[in-house]
Amino acid sequence: MNQQYLLTGGNGRQLLPALRRALAHATEIEIAVSFIRSTGLNLIFGDLEAKLLSETRNVRLTILTSDYMCITDPKALKKLMLLAERGADIRVFEAGARESFHLKAYIFFASEDGQMKTADAFVGSSNISAKALTDGLEWNYHLDFPNEADSLASQRLDELRQKFLSLLSEPQVKELSFDWIERYQHRYEKARQAPLTLIPVIDQEEPEPEIPTPKPHQKDALQALAKTRAEGWKKGLVVLATGMGKTYLAAFDAHQINANRVLFVAHREEILLQAEESFLNIMPHKRVGRFTGQQKDRKAALLFASVQTLGRAAHLKTFAPDYFDYIVVDEFHHAAAGSYLRLLEYFQPKFMLGLTATPDRTDGSDILRLCDHNLVYRRDLFAGIKDKQLCTFSYFGIFDSEVDYEHIPWRNGRFDPTKLSTQLATRSRARHILREWQEKSQERTLAFCASRLHADYMAEFFMNSGIRAASVHTESNLTRSEALELLSSKKLQILFSVDLFNEGVDLPELDTVMMLRPTESKILFLQQFGRGLRISGEKDNLVVLDFVGNHHSFLNRPEMLFGSSFTGKPTRKQLVEAAKRPAALLPDGCYVNYDLSFIAFLEELASDRLDEQYAALNGSLNRRPTLKEFWLSGANLTRLRANYGSWWEFIDQQGDAGHEEVQALERHAQWFRDLTITRTSKSYKLVLLQTLLEHRAINQSVAIQDLAEWGKQWYLAHPTWIEDLPQSLRPLESINARTWLSHWRNMPIKYWSTAEQASKIEWFSQEGMQFGFLQSLDAEELPTFNAMTEEILAWRLSQYAQNSLPVERPEASATDPILPEERSDQLPFFPNIKIACGHFKTGNAEVQEYVAAPAGLGRLLTEKNFIAQASGNSMNGGKNPIYDGDYLLFEQVTPTSAGSISNQIIAIERQDEAGDNQYLLRKVLKNPDGSYTLKANNPEYEDLPADESMMTFARFKEKVDPMSLFVGRNFKREEIPPLFGVEFNPGNWQSGHVVLADQKAQVLLVTLNKQGRAAAHQYHDHFIDNAHFHWQSQNSTSPENKRGKDIIYHEKLGSRVFLFVREHKLQNGVAAPFHYYGEVRYLKHEGSKPMNVVWELQSDSTHQ
């Protein structure tokens, strides 16, 4: 199809929409224009920027403009420098007094593997100005490839491109820089003073954009800032809700005090990008620069720096402490982190401004202290609505009944993104969303999705349902600007996006926001919420549809909305009450409603059994139990961490934290959380911290030699723990100081000096040969902080001893609840250790569960035996092959207690470079020279030589039947198929009687209370007693057909039957789990179609 056509501007085809369409799929963009005005650049800047920031496409942007007649405005050139920072190649043709430069060409190529896939070009009369790109009378001709009607299209476009590339090598072409812009600025201003030129006419037709002016609430804040400086304050904190212009406020304030040098600090790239644009709009004559990992500009008047780079001591010292007049720290709730603290302590500006929308830092640190307790101005979301700076809203918390979030992996404070996207992009959920949207939405909707896949799926589903919808992201065919125009003009009803619209969207008419993904970040939630809060004459109210699910992370929703209405951090019960009765907390005109199913889930979350267990232990001890005591009593600490964050937050919720403990918790909550979960493949990190506490030195800078010696002496005083050291460091008393120092530096000191994986906070730092805690600790709080840290550490050490030191049980005090010495009825199971049958595989022994001990395998001990799964196929051979996924019984051994291991299958342990444990299963063969070879039973795998990095970990005993391990546990329907080595298929597993022919197994899935089913399908199932179960088959089953014979003769056929039972179909609005009762045996039956069968339970699990 011929796509060559003429664009005429005016009332005809305009260039801007065509450029945006071509931009959407281009990977190489080349533009040559005589001049660029800010009015035109602003129209396409966002789209060009988005292309450069694409995470999946390597986009190349080259722009060539000129100084011809001094028409290009310096503001536009400075904005082009922002594109240069993002990777664009920006050049300028120096026309001089005699040469002209009239080029106007826009070239877009999409290449794949070096070959041109598609191309568009526009050649004509349009420069980059608002008139030329929109309604000005401009003629531009469009060429494209592929083009069926023009066999020479490729050659024409290639010729055009080659001419452009050759032009770049001309001597008059210079790379654009701030120095060049400064020199040009003088010529630009002088040209405007010359008589008889066309420049005034052009300036009148294309005036530079007006400098933004403060809004009423920003004026109030500016007055408050001026007042605080007049009173002598050097620091101050401003809290402004998302969408109320924090960054512009900082630019206005820096401008009003005539700051010569401004430093803007943040920890995210996108914040720096947006801040540069905002400051440049207010102070267009200033030079902008970056101080990041890639760029280190020390001449800029407006310097935008990443705290990760500038916060390093070596970089700080390149500036004098008083070099900057004005410093802005954005997202100031992060300021208690070590890198921020170093920066704040080093610089001495005339004024330092902290900005945040969420002043309650996640680790509870007192950030106001870092601003000398000077809160200058505060306007949160509700205040903005009351002041009529933001519009009112109606919020609907809709229960996401089609997704079971509890079974999506949750790691480091967020859902696994791939698994989440898969679970969210389903037809049943899309139908649910469509129904709610049709019932509650208004005219223009922006929906936030979890991934590009999710956004594309939702857009397609809505379009197939007759809705004008589109998805927009970095890889979509729509640019962000084009999508917004289509939504604004109502040509689209809904846009599905991932992250392009979190910030910087200017669409006041947006009247509906839909949140289709979990959002762990309060900032991100409020940014997305705030997209629709702009005042507009085309809407009265914002509608927010937020899909909330059955996971503890969704408790943040009412906290995000109502948190500022409470003094201090609200309790869970307060948040549940707020969700049930929100009206009293809301500004006039606002409405909040949560589905009853979600409120029921929140109520269950707010009242778990941990409270009861704690109260019982508290009563028996007649005092508050320690964390170690609570753990030894059998409490589920994984649930405690998930529901409360840390032990001390749980104690606070119980009302048992003292005043000093509450104060320490407010400042150091994240430290206690991280200490609870910090990775400990070996004991070294715990021992280092223990020695710091023993020497009362956690608030001091300690010489690394001293720290190493403390650690060595600790191990010598606790000889059982020496087994945790590598063989090369034993006997420890014979190891020289230099060798031990190297080990201590490379292990715990190195890893304590690394940011925690979950919080991204670096708690300790190593400077030369000194080591210290990065958080400031006041002398009066130090004893309480030490005691609280010691309590968590005592549990961590005991837990580590139980899991990793088999010859020593964790020591118990006289008041500790004592665990039985031997528990042969249950064995530890490590779900996160996969014993690799292939190559070494990383595992984590910190998560430990208990399963029923398999019968018929002799005397098994909790302290000695454990269960883990195989991973891989290197042992799939010989008489007794081990397959991928098999459950294996092991006997724990140590290098000194293993005895003879030759010709035995042994689990080998080693550490990788990061200090994480890795595991491997092989047969150990002793060689004539005394060395060992690790042999695979599968001949396709090579043997491995053993080396000193490897240690014997456990002796393989038997493969065990997983169905005997998990009797008495609850399983969601989708968790049952993996027990049999098959994948979950909803179509196959909706039946109450599943036959697995290849596995020679039958699964009974029974719901006792079948309310809602038709009478014909209400089977009569019940327990006769603890050993017998009455089960009614489906109406089509008879003793004569195959299904009936499979039941009656299952033992003769070698088919095993397993019983899973639940009381009700739903639990708190979601699918209830099944309780597993183990294997059952057919006894008798009565009737036909249906059959009434009596099964005999083979396990001792008592029915519920």
Cα separation, 83 vs 67, in Å, equals 19
pLDDT in tens, 243-291: 788 899 999 999 999 999 999 998 777 788 889 989 998 998 888 888 8
Of 366 and 218, the structure prediction assigns the larger pLDDT to: 218
Q: Given pLDDT bands bounded at 50, 70 and 90, which one contains residue 811?
A: very low
What are the residue boundaries of the structural domains of the chain, listed by start?
5-205, 216-379, 393-606, 622-804, 826-964, 966-1097
Question: What is the mean predicted confidence (pLDDT) over 769-789?
Answer: 89
pLDDT in tens, 878-912: 777 888 888 899 888 765 555 677 788 888 887 65
Question: What is the mean predicted confidence (pLDDT) over 1018-1023?
Answer: 72
The answer on pLDDT for 367 being more than 70 is: no
Which residue pairs from 878-882 have beta carbons closer than 8 angstroms and sit at least 24 positions apart in sequence? 878/937, 880/959, 881/937, 882/837, 882/921, 882/937, 882/959
Question: What is the mean predicted confidence (pLDDT) over 641-669?
Answer: 82
Of 42 and 877, the structure prediction assigns the larger pLDDT to: 42
Of 857 and 411, the structure prediction assigns the larger pLDDT to: 857
pLDDT at 97: 63
pLDDT at 836: 66
Cα separation, 509 vs 528, in Å, equals 15
pLDDT at 129: 93
Question: What is the mean predicted confidence (pLDDT) over 17-42?
Answer: 92
Of 266 and 544, the structure prediction assigns the larger pLDDT to: 544
* Residue of 1049, 1076, 1050, 1048 whose CA lies nearest to 1062: 1076
The answer on pLDDT for 785 being more than 60 is: yes
CB 248 within 8 A of CB 218: yes
Pairing of strands 445-448, 512-515: parallel
H-run or E-run covering 1048: helix 1042-1048
* Residue of 652, 634, 633 whose CA lies nearest to 644: 652
Question: What is the mean predicted confidence (pLDDT) over 343-362?
Answer: 81
Which stretches of 283-360 are DSSP H helices? 307-310, 313-316, 338-346
Q: Given pLDDT bands bounded at 50, 70 and 90, which one contains residue 502?
A: low
pLDDT at 362: 39
Of 942 and 910, the structure prediction assigns the larger pLDDT to: 942
pLDDT at 93: 95
pLDDT at 410: 62
pLDDT at 411: 56
pLDDT in tens, 78-102: 999 989 988 899 999 998 766 789 9
* Residue of 310, 315, 306, 311 whose CA lies nearest to 269: 306
Cβ neighbours around 829 below 10 Å, total: 20
Of 991 and 56, the structure prediction assigns the larger pLDDT to: 991
Question: What is the mean predicted confidence (pLDDT) over 144-164?
Answer: 87
Question: What is the mean predicted confidence (pLDDT) over 420-429?
Answer: 90
pLDDT in tens, 819-864: 333 445 678 888 777 786 656 555 555 556 778 777 777 777 777 7
* Residue of 920, 957, 926 whose CA lies nearest to 941: 920
The answer on pLDDT for 1 being more than 50 is: no
Mean pLDDT, the chain, as a whole number? 84
Query: DSSP class of residue 841?
Result: E
Q: Which residues 6+ apart lie within 8 Å of 220 measured at CB? A: 377
CATH number (3.30.470.20, 3.40.1280.10, 2.70.98.10, 3.30.870.10) of 5-205 reads 3.30.870.10
Helix axes 269-282, 74-85, angle to 10 degrees: 170
pLDDT at 819: 35
Query: DSSP class of residue 1042?
Result: H
The answer on pLDDT for 364 being more than 50 is: no
pLDDT at 342: 81
The answer on pLDDT for 435 being more than 70 is: yes
Q: Given pLDDT bands bounded at 50, 70 and 90, which one contains residue 740?
A: very high
**Residue 1078 CB-half CA count within 13 A:** 21
pLDDT in tens, 480-497: 778 888 898 899 999 999
Same fold, 826-964 and 966-1097: no
CB 101 within 8 A of CB 95: yes
pLDDT in tens, 922-937: 888 888 888 888 888 8
The percent helix, strand, coil of the chain (3-state, each to 5) is 35, 25, 40
pLDDT at 654: 79
CATH 3.40.50.300 fits domain 393-606 = yes
CB 209 within 8 A of CB 41: no
Q: Before 719, cis peptide (omega within 30)?
A: no
pLDDT in tens, 659-697: 788 888 888 888 998 999 888 878 999 999 999 999 989
pLDDT at 551: 81
Domain 826-964: give its CATH code. 2.10.109.10
pLDDT at 863: 72
Of 46 and 173, the structure prediction assigns the larger pLDDT to: 173
The answer on pLDDT for 631 being more than 60 is: yes
The answer on pLDDT for 181 being more than 80 is: yes
pLDDT at 336: 56
Question: What is the mean predicted confidence (pLDDT) over 598-604?
Answer: 84
Q: Which residues 6+ apart lie within 8 Å of 293 measured at CB? A: 306, 308, 309
Ramachandran quadrant class, 1078 (left: phi over 0; alpha: psi -120 to 50; beta: rest): left
Of 203 and 941, the structure prediction assigns the larger pLDDT to: 941
Cα separation, 336 vs 634, in Å, equals 36
Q: Before 831, cis peptide (omega within 30)?
A: no
pLDDT in tens, 451-466: 999 999 999 999 999 9
**Which of 214-228, 492-506, 1040-1054 shows the lowest per-residue confidence on average (mean pLDDT)?**
492-506
Domain 966-1097: give its CATH code. 2.30.280.10
Q: Given pLDDT bands bounded at 50, 70 and 90, which one contains residue 505?
A: low
**Which of 381-385, 820-824, 1074-1078 shows the lowest per-residue confidence on average (mean pLDDT)?**
820-824
Cβ neighbours around 657 below 10 Å, total: 19
pLDDT at 180: 94
pLDDT at 260: 93
- H and E: helices and strands count for the chain: 34, 47
Question: What is the mean predicted confidence (pLDDT) over 650-654?
Answer: 82
The answer on pLDDT for 614 being more than 70 is: yes
CB 167 within 8 A of CB 31: no
Pairing of strands 887-892, 951-960: antiparallel
Question: What is the mean predicted confidence (pLDDT) over 8-31?
Answer: 90
Fold of the 216-379 domain: Rossmann fold (3.40.50)
Q: Which residues pair with 326 in a beta bridge?
A: 262, 351
